[in-house]
Structure 1
Protein backbone atom coordinates (compact mmCIF):
# COMPACT_ATOMS: atom_id res chain seq x y z
CA UNK A 1 0.00 0.00 0.00
CA UNK A 2 1.45 3.41 -0.91
CA UNK A 3 2.37 5.63 1.98
CA UNK A 4 2.70 9.40 2.03
CA UNK A 5 4.91 11.42 4.36
CA UNK A 6 5.43 15.12 4.89
CA UNK A 7 8.61 16.23 6.64
CA UNK A 8 9.54 19.67 7.87
CA UNK A 9 13.10 20.37 8.98
CA UNK A 10 15.22 23.17 10.39
CA UNK A 11 18.85 23.19 11.40
CA UNK A 12 21.62 25.63 12.19
CA UNK A 13 25.26 24.84 11.44
CA UNK A 14 28.63 26.53 11.05
CA UNK A 15 31.32 26.11 8.37
CA UNK A 16 34.85 26.92 9.44
CA UNK A 17 37.62 27.97 7.04
CA UNK A 18 40.01 25.28 5.84
CA UNK A 19 43.62 25.54 6.95
CA UNK A 20 44.84 26.52 3.48
CA UNK A 21 42.19 29.27 3.30
CA UNK A 22 43.65 30.75 6.49
CA UNK A 23 47.35 30.29 5.69
CA UNK A 24 49.02 33.54 4.51
CA UNK A 25 51.43 31.58 2.29
CA UNK A 26 51.17 31.17 -1.47
CA UNK A 27 50.49 27.72 -2.93
CA UNK A 28 49.31 26.04 -6.15
CA UNK A 29 46.60 23.38 -6.32
CA UNK A 30 47.62 19.92 -7.54
CA UNK A 31 45.30 20.28 -10.56
CA UNK A 32 47.09 23.46 -11.67
CA UNK A 33 45.56 26.88 -12.26
CA UNK A 34 46.58 30.17 -10.66
CA UNK A 35 48.41 30.40 -7.35
CA UNK A 36 46.42 31.05 -4.18
CA UNK A 37 47.10 32.66 -0.83
CA UNK A 38 45.02 32.32 2.35
CA UNK A 39 43.52 35.04 4.50
CA UNK A 40 44.06 34.69 8.28
CA UNK A 41 41.24 37.19 8.96
CA UNK A 42 38.48 34.92 7.63
CA UNK A 43 35.40 34.41 9.81
CA UNK A 44 33.38 31.22 10.11
CA UNK A 45 30.13 30.94 8.16
CA UNK A 46 26.84 30.59 10.03
CA UNK A 47 24.15 28.67 8.15
CA UNK A 48 20.43 28.17 8.68
CA UNK A 49 18.61 25.44 6.76
CA UNK A 50 14.86 25.08 6.21
CA UNK A 51 13.33 22.25 4.18
CA UNK A 52 9.90 20.80 3.40
CA UNK A 53 9.68 17.31 1.85
CA UNK A 54 6.71 15.33 0.52
CA UNK A 55 7.15 11.59 -0.15
CA UNK A 56 5.03 8.96 -1.85
CA UNK A 57 6.45 5.52 -1.05
CA UNK A 58 5.54 2.07 -2.37
CA UNK A 59 8.69 -0.02 -1.85
CA UNK A 60 10.88 -0.16 -3.80
CA UNK A 61 9.33 2.81 -5.60
CA UNK A 62 9.52 6.41 -4.48
CA UNK A 63 8.41 9.86 -5.58
CA UNK A 64 9.56 12.83 -3.51
CA UNK A 65 9.49 16.61 -3.89
CA UNK A 66 11.50 18.89 -1.61
CA UNK A 67 11.59 22.64 -1.16
CA UNK A 68 14.57 24.10 0.67
CA UNK A 69 15.87 27.48 1.75
CA UNK A 70 19.29 28.27 3.16
CA UNK A 71 20.67 31.52 4.57
CA UNK A 72 24.38 32.10 5.16
CA UNK A 73 26.14 34.81 7.09
CA UNK A 74 29.79 35.54 6.19
CA UNK A 75 30.16 32.84 3.49
CA UNK A 76 33.74 32.39 2.25
CA UNK A 77 34.49 32.83 -1.45
CA UNK A 78 37.67 32.54 -3.53
CA UNK A 79 38.48 35.86 -5.21
CA UNK A 80 40.83 36.30 -8.17
CA UNK A 81 42.69 39.61 -8.15
CA UNK A 82 45.71 41.19 -9.86
CA UNK A 83 49.15 40.60 -8.32
CA UNK A 84 52.26 42.11 -9.97
CA UNK A 85 52.25 40.77 -13.56
CA UNK A 86 49.85 37.89 -12.96
CA UNK A 87 46.76 37.06 -10.89
CA UNK A 88 46.34 35.29 -7.57
CA UNK A 89 43.41 33.76 -5.71
CA UNK A 90 42.64 34.97 -2.20
CA UNK A 91 39.68 34.33 0.09
CA UNK A 92 37.12 36.79 1.48
CA UNK A 93 33.94 36.75 3.53
CA UNK A 94 30.94 38.34 1.85
CA UNK A 95 28.10 39.72 3.96
CA UNK A 96 25.63 36.94 3.24
CA UNK A 97 23.99 34.58 0.75
CA UNK A 98 20.68 32.84 0.16
CA UNK A 99 19.97 29.59 -1.66
CA UNK A 100 16.42 28.50 -2.46
CA UNK A 101 15.50 25.52 -4.54
CA UNK A 102 13.46 22.52 -5.56
CA UNK A 103 14.46 18.85 -5.70
CA UNK A 104 12.50 16.05 -7.39
CA UNK A 105 13.49 12.43 -6.69
CA UNK A 106 12.13 9.32 -8.43
CA UNK A 107 12.82 5.60 -7.97
CA UNK A 108 10.97 3.11 -10.20
CA UNK A 109 11.02 -0.64 -10.63
CA UNK A 110 11.04 -1.93 -14.22
CA UNK A 111 8.86 -4.92 -13.36
CA UNK A 112 6.24 -3.83 -15.90
CA UNK A 113 8.72 -4.90 -18.63
CA UNK A 114 8.51 -8.56 -17.63
CA UNK A 115 10.58 -11.02 -15.62
CA UNK A 116 13.92 -9.45 -16.51
CA UNK A 117 12.60 -6.01 -15.60
CA UNK A 118 11.73 -7.17 -12.08
CA UNK A 119 15.45 -7.31 -11.36
CA UNK A 120 16.07 -3.75 -12.48
CA UNK A 121 15.23 -0.34 -11.15
CA UNK A 122 15.97 3.20 -12.23
CA UNK A 123 16.32 6.25 -10.02
CA UNK A 124 17.10 9.89 -10.52
CA UNK A 125 16.89 13.32 -9.02
CA UNK A 126 16.94 16.84 -10.35
CA UNK A 127 17.77 19.92 -8.30
CA UNK A 128 17.21 23.54 -9.21
CA UNK A 129 18.83 26.19 -7.02
CA UNK A 130 18.43 29.96 -7.15
CA UNK A 131 21.37 31.56 -5.37
CA UNK A 132 22.16 35.20 -4.53
CA UNK A 133 24.88 36.84 -2.47
CA UNK A 134 24.76 40.06 -0.48
CA UNK A 135 27.83 42.27 -0.79
CA UNK A 136 28.83 44.58 2.06
CA UNK A 137 29.49 48.26 1.40
CA UNK A 138 33.23 47.92 1.89
CA UNK A 139 33.46 45.34 -0.92
CA UNK A 140 31.19 47.03 -3.47
CA UNK A 141 34.19 48.86 -4.93
CA UNK A 142 36.38 45.73 -4.83
CA UNK A 143 34.34 42.87 -6.29
CA UNK A 144 33.53 43.16 -10.00
CA UNK A 145 30.06 41.54 -9.89
CA UNK A 146 27.86 42.73 -7.01
CA UNK A 147 24.84 40.69 -8.19
CA UNK A 148 25.56 37.01 -8.74
CA UNK A 149 25.11 33.49 -7.30
CA UNK A 150 27.32 32.07 -4.58
CA UNK A 151 30.63 30.61 -5.74
CA UNK A 152 30.42 26.85 -6.35
CA UNK A 153 26.62 26.75 -6.58
CA UNK A 154 25.18 25.28 -9.79
CA UNK A 155 21.65 26.22 -10.78
CA UNK A 156 21.03 22.74 -12.23
CA UNK A 157 22.11 19.32 -10.91
CA UNK A 158 21.00 15.95 -12.28
CA UNK A 159 21.71 12.36 -11.18
CA UNK A 160 20.44 9.10 -12.66
CA UNK A 161 21.13 5.44 -11.92
CA UNK A 162 20.20 2.06 -13.40
CA UNK A 163 20.72 -1.03 -11.23
CA UNK A 164 20.30 -4.65 -12.29
CA UNK A 165 20.41 -7.65 -9.95
CA UNK A 166 21.73 -11.05 -11.08
CA UNK A 167 20.38 -13.49 -8.44
CA UNK A 168 21.96 -16.67 -9.85
CA UNK A 169 25.38 -15.01 -9.52
CA UNK A 170 24.61 -13.19 -6.24
CA UNK A 171 25.72 -10.03 -8.03
CA UNK A 172 24.50 -6.68 -9.25
CA UNK A 173 25.59 -4.05 -11.78
CA UNK A 174 24.97 -0.32 -11.57
CA UNK A 175 25.36 2.58 -14.00
CA UNK A 176 25.53 6.09 -12.52
CA UNK A 177 25.29 9.30 -14.55
CA UNK A 178 25.58 12.87 -13.27
CA UNK A 179 25.47 16.34 -14.76
CA UNK A 180 26.75 19.38 -12.87
CA UNK A 181 25.66 22.72 -14.33
CA UNK A 182 27.89 25.74 -14.86
CA UNK A 183 28.91 27.61 -11.74
CA UNK A 184 31.18 30.36 -10.51
CA UNK A 185 34.67 29.17 -9.65
CA UNK A 186 36.27 32.44 -8.49
CA UNK A 187 34.93 35.96 -8.09
CA UNK A 188 36.70 38.71 -10.03
CA UNK A 189 38.05 41.75 -8.16
CA UNK A 190 39.33 45.18 -9.20
CA UNK A 191 37.81 44.94 -12.67
CA UNK A 192 38.78 41.33 -13.43
CA UNK A 193 35.94 39.20 -14.81
CA UNK A 194 34.53 36.30 -12.80
CA UNK A 195 35.86 32.80 -13.56
CA UNK A 196 33.11 30.33 -14.52
CA UNK A 197 33.38 26.55 -14.57
CA UNK A 198 31.43 25.08 -17.49
CA UNK A 199 28.94 22.29 -16.88
CA UNK A 200 30.05 18.70 -17.45
CA UNK A 201 28.73 15.10 -17.25
CA UNK A 202 30.22 12.07 -15.50
CA UNK A 203 29.57 8.34 -15.86
CA UNK A 204 30.44 5.59 -13.35
CA UNK A 205 30.07 1.80 -13.59
CA UNK A 206 29.90 -0.58 -10.62
CA UNK A 207 29.86 -4.38 -10.48
CA UNK A 208 29.65 -6.33 -7.21
CA UNK A 209 29.49 -10.04 -6.43
CA UNK A 210 28.79 -11.68 -3.06
CA UNK A 211 30.07 -15.13 -2.17
CA UNK A 212 31.34 -17.41 0.62
CA UNK A 213 28.55 -19.69 1.80
CA UNK A 214 24.81 -19.16 2.04
CA UNK A 215 25.28 -16.00 4.11
CA UNK A 216 27.37 -14.42 1.33
CA UNK A 217 29.58 -12.67 3.84
CA UNK A 218 32.24 -11.62 1.36
CA UNK A 219 31.79 -9.06 -1.42
CA UNK A 220 34.05 -8.18 -4.32
CA UNK A 221 33.33 -4.78 -5.86
CA UNK A 222 34.83 -3.22 -9.00
CA UNK A 223 34.17 0.47 -9.70
CA UNK A 224 35.02 2.35 -12.90
CA UNK A 225 34.72 6.07 -12.18
CA UNK A 226 34.60 9.07 -14.52
CA UNK A 227 34.51 6.92 -17.66
CA UNK A 228 33.78 9.90 -19.95
CA UNK A 229 36.74 11.89 -18.58
CA UNK A 230 35.42 15.12 -20.06
CA UNK A 231 37.73 18.12 -19.65
CA UNK A 232 36.61 20.51 -16.91
CA UNK A 233 36.85 23.92 -18.54
CA UNK A 234 36.97 27.39 -17.02
CA UNK A 235 36.29 30.74 -18.67
CA UNK A 236 37.06 34.26 -17.51
CA UNK A 237 34.49 36.51 -19.08
CA UNK A 238 34.22 35.36 -22.72
CA UNK A 239 37.80 34.01 -22.87
CA UNK A 240 39.03 30.47 -22.16
CA UNK A 241 40.92 30.46 -18.85
CA UNK A 242 42.22 26.93 -18.21
CA UNK A 243 41.10 23.31 -18.06
CA UNK A 244 42.06 19.99 -16.56
CA UNK A 245 41.01 16.34 -16.65
CA UNK A 246 40.34 14.32 -13.52
CA UNK A 247 41.29 11.08 -15.25
CA UNK A 248 39.58 7.71 -15.05
CA UNK A 249 39.72 5.70 -11.83
CA UNK A 250 39.47 1.95 -11.27
CA UNK A 251 38.81 0.71 -7.74
CA UNK A 252 38.73 -2.93 -6.61
CA UNK A 253 37.54 -3.69 -3.09
CA UNK A 254 37.04 -6.85 -1.04
CA UNK A 255 34.94 -6.74 2.13
CA UNK A 256 33.90 -9.32 4.72
CA UNK A 257 30.76 -9.03 6.84
CA UNK A 258 31.15 -10.54 10.33
CA UNK A 259 27.42 -10.79 11.03
Structure 2
Protein backbone atom coordinates (compact mmCIF):
# COMPACT_ATOMS: atom_id res chain seq x y z
CA UNK A 1 0.00 0.00 0.00
CA UNK A 2 1.31 3.41 -0.91
CA UNK A 3 -0.68 6.63 -0.51
CA UNK A 4 1.10 8.75 -3.13
CA UNK A 5 4.53 9.38 -4.61
CA UNK A 6 5.09 12.44 -2.38
CA UNK A 7 4.81 10.39 0.81
CA UNK A 8 8.29 9.12 1.81
CA UNK A 9 6.80 6.17 3.74
CA UNK A 10 5.65 2.85 2.26
CA UNK A 11 3.94 -0.10 3.87
CA UNK A 12 4.23 -3.38 1.98
CA UNK A 13 2.34 -6.59 2.68
CA UNK A 14 3.45 -9.82 1.06
CA UNK A 15 2.35 -13.43 0.87
CA UNK A 16 4.07 -16.04 -1.26
CA UNK A 17 4.52 -19.78 -1.52
CA UNK A 18 7.80 -21.60 -2.05
CA UNK A 19 8.50 -25.17 -3.08
CA UNK A 20 11.95 -26.61 -2.30
CA UNK A 21 13.39 -29.91 -3.43
CA UNK A 22 15.86 -32.01 -1.42
CA UNK A 23 19.50 -31.53 -2.40
CA UNK A 24 21.38 -34.37 -4.06
CA UNK A 25 23.28 -35.03 -0.81
CA UNK A 26 20.02 -35.29 1.16
CA UNK A 27 18.15 -37.39 -1.43
CA UNK A 28 20.95 -39.76 -2.45
CA UNK A 29 21.03 -43.33 -1.12
CA UNK A 30 24.78 -42.97 -0.54
CA UNK A 31 26.67 -42.78 2.75
CA UNK A 32 29.16 -39.92 3.11
CA UNK A 33 31.55 -39.26 5.98
CA UNK A 34 31.04 -35.69 7.23
CA UNK A 35 34.24 -34.17 8.65
CA UNK A 36 32.37 -31.54 10.67
CA UNK A 37 30.01 -34.06 12.30
CA UNK A 38 32.80 -36.68 12.48
CA UNK A 39 30.23 -39.32 11.48
CA UNK A 40 28.57 -40.97 8.49
CA UNK A 41 25.60 -39.20 6.92
CA UNK A 42 23.07 -41.40 5.16
CA UNK A 43 20.95 -40.01 2.32
CA UNK A 44 17.18 -40.56 2.30
CA UNK A 45 15.41 -41.23 -1.02
CA UNK A 46 12.02 -41.01 0.74
CA UNK A 47 12.27 -37.26 1.38
CA UNK A 48 9.28 -35.16 0.31
CA UNK A 49 9.19 -31.72 -1.27
CA UNK A 50 9.24 -28.82 1.21
CA UNK A 51 6.26 -26.44 1.02
CA UNK A 52 6.61 -22.97 2.56
CA UNK A 53 4.07 -20.20 3.18
CA UNK A 54 5.79 -16.79 3.53
CA UNK A 55 4.15 -13.77 5.19
CA UNK A 56 5.74 -10.39 5.76
CA UNK A 57 4.98 -6.74 6.39
CA UNK A 58 7.55 -4.05 5.65
CA UNK A 59 7.56 -0.35 6.58
CA UNK A 60 10.03 1.83 4.66
CA UNK A 61 10.94 5.49 4.98
CA UNK A 62 12.96 7.32 2.33
CA UNK A 63 14.97 10.47 2.91
CA UNK A 64 16.36 13.09 0.52
CA UNK A 65 19.57 12.00 -1.16
CA UNK A 66 18.71 8.30 -1.33
CA UNK A 67 18.97 7.35 2.36
CA UNK A 68 16.37 4.95 3.74
CA UNK A 69 15.45 2.85 6.74
CA UNK A 70 13.02 -0.07 6.85
CA UNK A 71 11.56 -2.45 9.40
CA UNK A 72 10.13 -5.85 8.43
CA UNK A 73 8.30 -8.54 10.36
CA UNK A 74 8.18 -12.00 8.80
CA UNK A 75 6.72 -15.44 9.44
CA UNK A 76 7.17 -18.67 7.50
CA UNK A 77 5.53 -22.04 8.04
CA UNK A 78 7.04 -25.17 6.52
CA UNK A 79 5.46 -28.50 5.67
CA UNK A 80 8.09 -31.28 5.32
CA UNK A 81 11.13 -29.13 6.20
CA UNK A 82 14.26 -31.29 5.87
CA UNK A 83 16.04 -31.84 9.19
CA UNK A 84 19.31 -33.59 10.01
CA UNK A 85 18.61 -36.31 12.59
CA UNK A 86 20.86 -38.40 14.83
CA UNK A 87 20.58 -42.13 14.19
CA UNK A 88 22.83 -43.31 17.05
CA UNK A 89 25.87 -44.13 14.96
CA UNK A 90 25.36 -41.73 12.10
CA UNK A 91 23.06 -39.06 10.76
CA UNK A 92 20.39 -38.87 8.08
CA UNK A 93 17.77 -36.51 6.70
CA UNK A 94 14.09 -36.58 7.60
CA UNK A 95 11.03 -34.47 6.84
CA UNK A 96 9.60 -32.53 9.76
CA UNK A 97 5.81 -32.41 9.89
CA UNK A 98 5.76 -28.72 10.79
CA UNK A 99 8.37 -25.99 11.20
CA UNK A 100 8.19 -22.22 11.65
CA UNK A 101 10.50 -19.24 11.33
CA UNK A 102 9.63 -15.75 12.52
CA UNK A 103 11.64 -12.63 12.96
CA UNK A 104 12.34 -8.96 12.55
CA UNK A 105 14.63 -7.26 10.05
CA UNK A 106 16.06 -3.73 10.08
CA UNK A 107 17.61 -2.40 6.89
CA UNK A 108 19.11 0.97 6.04
CA UNK A 109 21.40 3.05 3.86
CA UNK A 110 23.17 6.32 4.69
CA UNK A 111 25.19 8.35 2.21
CA UNK A 112 28.43 9.49 3.88
CA UNK A 113 29.59 11.76 1.08
CA UNK A 114 29.26 12.23 -2.66
CA UNK A 115 30.43 8.70 -3.57
CA UNK A 116 30.47 6.80 -0.24
CA UNK A 117 27.55 5.03 1.39
CA UNK A 118 27.01 2.78 4.39
CA UNK A 119 24.43 -0.02 4.17
CA UNK A 120 23.41 -2.46 6.88
CA UNK A 121 20.87 -5.20 7.41
CA UNK A 122 20.19 -6.93 10.74
CA UNK A 123 17.77 -9.84 11.22
CA UNK A 124 16.77 -11.50 14.51
CA UNK A 125 15.26 -14.93 13.90
CA UNK A 126 13.39 -17.52 15.97
CA UNK A 127 12.71 -20.98 14.57
CA UNK A 128 11.08 -24.20 15.70
CA UNK A 129 10.84 -27.63 14.11
CA UNK A 130 9.01 -30.78 15.17
CA UNK A 131 11.40 -33.71 14.73
CA UNK A 132 10.91 -37.46 15.07
CA UNK A 133 13.64 -39.43 16.86
CA UNK A 134 14.50 -42.92 15.58
CA UNK A 135 16.12 -46.05 17.02
CA UNK A 136 17.59 -49.01 15.18
CA UNK A 137 15.61 -52.16 15.99
CA UNK A 138 16.83 -55.67 15.21
CA UNK A 139 14.40 -58.46 14.47
CA UNK A 140 16.44 -61.34 15.94
CA UNK A 141 14.81 -64.26 14.05
CA UNK A 142 15.20 -62.58 10.64
CA UNK A 143 18.27 -60.45 11.52
CA UNK A 144 16.61 -57.49 9.76
CA UNK A 145 17.46 -54.03 11.07
CA UNK A 146 14.83 -51.28 10.81
CA UNK A 147 14.76 -47.63 11.89
CA UNK A 148 11.68 -47.18 14.09
CA UNK A 149 10.25 -43.82 15.26
CA UNK A 150 10.44 -43.62 19.06
CA UNK A 151 9.86 -40.00 20.05
CA UNK A 152 8.76 -36.58 18.81
CA UNK A 153 10.37 -33.39 20.08
CA UNK A 154 10.77 -29.72 19.19
CA UNK A 155 14.06 -27.97 18.51
CA UNK A 156 15.54 -25.01 16.66
CA UNK A 157 15.32 -25.58 12.92
CA UNK A 158 18.48 -27.30 11.60
CA UNK A 159 20.85 -24.83 9.98
CA UNK A 160 18.88 -21.70 10.94
CA UNK A 161 21.00 -18.91 12.42
CA UNK A 162 19.43 -16.89 15.29
CA UNK A 163 20.65 -13.65 13.69
CA UNK A 164 22.14 -12.33 10.45
CA UNK A 165 24.17 -9.12 10.12
CA UNK A 166 25.29 -7.70 6.77
CA UNK A 167 27.22 -4.43 6.55
CA UNK A 168 28.84 -2.67 3.63
CA UNK A 169 30.75 0.54 3.02
CA UNK A 170 30.78 1.26 -0.71
CA UNK A 171 32.55 3.73 -2.94
CA UNK A 172 30.70 4.51 -6.18
CA UNK A 173 33.15 5.62 -8.86
CA UNK A 174 31.04 7.73 -11.22
CA UNK A 175 33.18 7.20 -14.36
CA UNK A 176 32.54 3.44 -14.22
CA UNK A 177 28.79 3.84 -13.95
What range is the shorter-chain TM-score in? 0.7 to 0.9
SS in 2 for 1:20: helix
The answer (yes or no) to whether the contact 2:51–2:78 under 8 Å persists in 1 is: yes
Aligned twin of 1:47: 52
SS in 2 for 1:39: coil
Give the Å deviation of 1:27. 2.0
Aligned twin of 2:150: 141
**Distance change in 2, residues 1:80/1:135 (3 Å):** closer
Instruction: Number of aligned residue pairs: give it.
Output: 158
Give the Å deviation of 1:80. 2.9
SS in 2 for 1:141: strand
Aligned twin of 1:109: 111
Distance 1:135 1:37 in 2: 17
How large is the RMSD of aligned CA atoms in angstroms? 2.6
Structure 1 position 154 matched with structure 2 position 156: no
Higher-RCO chain (CA-CA 8 Å, sequence separation at least 6): 2
Mind listing any 5+ residue stretches in structure 2 that lack a counterpart?
A: 1-5, 135-147
Write out per-residue CA displacement over residues 113-169 of structure 1, whole angstroms, 9 at most, x where no aligned residue: xxxx322110101101111112469887356xx2321011111111111012345xx
Please report the TM-score for the alignment, with normalisation by the length of structure 2. Answer: 0.78
Aligned twin of 2:77: 71
Write out per-residue CA displacement over residues 171-204 of structure 1, whole angstroms, 9 at most, x where no aligned residue: xxxxxxxxxxxxxxxxxxxxxxxxxxxxxxxxxx
Segments ≥4 residues shifted beyond 4 Å: 29-33, 136-140
Mind listing any 5+ residue stretches in structure 1 that lack a counterpart?
A: 111-116, 171-209, 211-215, 217-259
Aligned twin of 2:99: 97
